[in-house]
Amino acid sequence: MSDPEKRKAGHARKVSTSGDECGSGEGVTSPGGSRSEDESLAELDRQFQALFEATTDGIIVVDSQTRRFYAGNLALSRMLGYAPQEINRLTIQDIHPPDAMPLVMQQFEKLVRREQTVARDIPVKRKDGSVFHADITCNPVTLAGKACLMGFFHDVSERKYAEDRLKDTESRFRSVMEQSSEGIILIDESGAIIEWNRAQEQITGRSRSEVLGRPTWEVIGELIPREKRSDQFLDVARHWVTHVLQTGQVPQEMRLHEHDFVRPDGTRRYLQVLLYPIRAGKGFWTGVICRDVTDRKVVELALRESEEKYRTLVESAGESIATVDRNGTFLFMNKTAAARLGGTPEGYIGKTMSELFPGAIGERHAASVRRVIDTGQGKTSSSRPSCRDNGDGRTRRSSRSGTRQARSRPPSSWPGTSTSCKWRARSSINTARRCAGRNSSPRSGPSAPPSRTR
């Protein structure tokens, strides 16, 4: 090969990344000026080839007009599963799935027109038909006088897998959020609301668009009843929200609590609120689960009002009234009964009939209580005092009826069934007091009650 032919071949291998065809290479010499022009071009070619093959990203040179491949490096051969000598026989259609070709050609044309330099998340087909995704960065080059594109294929399969996993997780999270019957709120590390699910919209009457991005304490200030709103309340709310976000600690008294709020239409509702911290990248978020407990609260308030009325009625009655469980333990005693026994209700509640009544009298009363509880049938009886002391001998009338304790009472209360008792003879109570004082050993606390209870 003559010198001009060698020089021409060397020029054909040289690539200009600026998009212009390379010149003759004149003036490309070693710094010392001791190398010939051909030697400099050969060295440049070797360096380019070494860089071309050493990179971990796949590199390919494509004819902008014919879409045929001129050359590809070893990394691209490994990515596609083709031998290096097979690369030159491929076209763009050979390395992309058929259903992705419209997207691929659209992106390719934008790269040719230099409207963009990167085509992201492009499906690429291997020789065996499997598909992976790559980000393709392209630059225009001129090779042997032809306009080409040099493409760099960066395999993003792992990133794509992670993104798909994240999307799947987010989809499931969103499904749980939207299908939950309980209100769910998420607060980011700045205190802004970033999630407000559909149930929370229905509970509060406020849409996501009204609250997202706003400070939590501002929204709380709009939810609470007007009579409770104040700058001091907002300062306290801001303080506790900030405390949880900074420390990741929720005070015990705030972890699960109830409070009332007002909907935009003015109706008052009650919420049970559960707070919990969530560790995030820059600190802590706060999760809030809200449950509408208005129905339960209304029942509780009505029950409390009923109990107050009942207690007022019982305490104002002129009769001695008490409640006793199956073991004969006094669960309740009104002031009238306690006063006739010489003490206060607190002094008798928790004591048993056998402790307060002398000998067989206490056992007889306890047995009567058990029969009423077991059968569910009330009993009324009349008797004279059984004390040997000289009493006035008046007849005492007592009645007993079974009452069922509510299942919702706290564990500290007495469970099961109890009996309500009434005494209607003050003289017999006084007689029982004298009997208890004579027949029982000295004990602390008030005097014993009458000989019969209900």
What pLDDT is attached to residue 302? 87
Question: How would you list the strands of the sheet with 131-143, edge to edge?
Answer: 69-72, 58-63, 146-155, 131-143, 118-125
Q: Which comes out higher in pLDDT, residue 84 or 416? A: 84
What pLDDT is attached to residue 22? 38
Q: Which comes out higher in pLDDT, residue 52 or 154? A: 154
What pLDDT is attached to residue 437? 46
Same fold, 3-158 and 167-296: yes
Structure pTM?
0.48
Asked if 127 contacts 140 with a C-beta cutoff of 8 angstroms, the reply is no
What pLDDT is attached to residue 214? 94
Give residues with Cβ within 8 angstroms of 57, minimum separation 6. Answer: 75, 152, 153, 154, 155
Q: Which comes out higher in pLDDT, residue 184 or 172? A: 184
Using pLDDT thresholds of 50, 70 and 90, give the confidence band for residue 36: low
Is the model's pLDDT at 220 over the cut of 50?
A: yes
Query: CA-CA distance, 179 to 219, in Å (whole number)?
Result: 23
What pLDDT is attached to residue 382? 56
Mean pLDDT of 187-209: 93
Asked if 454 contacts 400 with a C-beta cutoff of 8 angstroms, the reply is yes
Using pLDDT thresholds of 50, 70 and 90, give the confidence band for residue 420: low
Please state which of the four CATH numbers 3.40.50.1470, 3.30.450.20, 3.40.190.10, 3.30.460.80 is assigned to the domain occupying 3-158.
3.30.450.20
Is the model's pLDDT at 368 over the cut of 90?
A: no
Using pLDDT thresholds of 50, 70 and 90, give the confidence band for residue 399: low
Give residues with Cβ within 8 angstroms of 265, minimum separation 6. Answer: 205
Q: Where are the domains of the chain?
A: 3-158, 167-296, 317-439
Question: What is the overall mean pLDDT for the chain?
Answer: 76
Q: Which CATH architecture has domain 167-296?
A: 2-Layer Sandwich (3.30)
The H-assigned helical ranges of 129-287 are: 157-179, 198-204, 208-211, 216-223, 231-247, 252-255
What pLDDT is attached to residue 10? 41
Using pLDDT thresholds of 50, 70 and 90, give the confidence band for residue 293: very high
Using pLDDT thresholds of 50, 70 and 90, give the confidence band for residue 42: low
CA 310 to chain centre: 42
Q: What is the sign of the dihedral through the CA atoms of 324, 326, 328 and 329?
A: negative
pLDDT tens-place string over residues 103-116: 999 998 888 888 88
Task: Compute the half-sphere exposure of residue 17: CA atoms within 13 Å on the CB side of its CA.
Answer: 5
Using pLDDT thresholds of 50, 70 and 90, give the confidence band for residue 401: low
What pLDDT is attached to residue 395? 42
Mean pLDDT of 33-60: 69
In single-letter form, the type of residue at position 6 comes to: K
Burial (0-12, 13-18, 19+ Cβ within 10 Å), 46: exposed
Asked if 347 contacts 445 with a C-beta cutoff of 8 angstroms, the reply is yes
Is the model's pLDDT at 16 over the cut of 50?
A: no
In single-letter form, the type of residue at position 384 comes to: R
What pLDDT is attached to residue 28? 36
pLDDT tens-place string over residues 116-158: 889 999 999 999 999 999 999 988 888 777 888 888 999 998 8
Query: CA-CA distance, 153 to 179, in Å (whole number)?
Result: 42
* H/E element, 381: strand 379-383
Q: What's the CATH superfamily of 317-439?
A: PAS domain (3.30.450.20)
pLDDT tens-place string over residues 229-261: 888 888 888 888 888 888 888 888 888 888 899
